[in-house]
Amino acid sequence: MSTGVLVSDEVCTSFNKFKLGQEPYKLRYFIYEIKDKKTIVIEKQGDRGKTFDDFVEDLPENDCRYGLIDIEFETSDGRPTSKIVFISWNPDTAPVRPKMLYSGSKEALKSALIGVGTHINATDLSELDFDEAILPALKRFN
């Protein structure tokens, strides 16, 4: 389902520099919002010192967002690694119209973020629990 929502050029440019670790995008995460029901833009960014918990705190409790975060972790055999993860935050408590808009516009953003291998859909905070939900999803592919 396409909603006609477009991805801003800034999102694409910043993502390409983010995945290469180039300044000024040596960051931990981005949070994206749909502005005026037309364009996906960067709402917030977290500097490299931020954590996954900071990312979750930056998500609105009762509204939808998209997130992109660089998560560092150890593989099952103890090697340090990192993955860029796309998270679609579509809480059950959000109004119906934004939930439909964000669900229908997700593919436009995913196609602009070339190279992201892990995609997670979350509808409540339990699905964003790092140890119980996120880390097992990351380790499945290592």
1 pLDDT above the threshold of 60: no
Supply the pLDDT for residue 141. 66
39 pLDDT above the threshold of 60: yes
- Three-state SS letters, the chain: CCCCCEECHHHHHHHHHHHHCCCCCCEEEEEEEEECCCEEEEEEEEECCCCHHHHHHHCCCCCCEEEEEEEEEECCCCCEEEEEEEEEECCCCCCHHHHHHHHHHHHHHHHHCCCCCEEEEECCHHHHCHHHHHHHHHHCCC
Q: What is the mean pLDDT of the chain?
A: 93
23 pLDDT above the threshold of 90: no
Tell me the mean pLDDT in the region 48-64.
96
Tell me the mean pLDDT in the region 51-71.
97
pLDDT tens digits along 59-68: 999 999 999 9
Supply the pLDDT for residue 142. 61
pLDDT tens digits along 100-133: 999 999 999 999 999 898 999 999 999 999 999 9
The pTM of this model reads 0.93
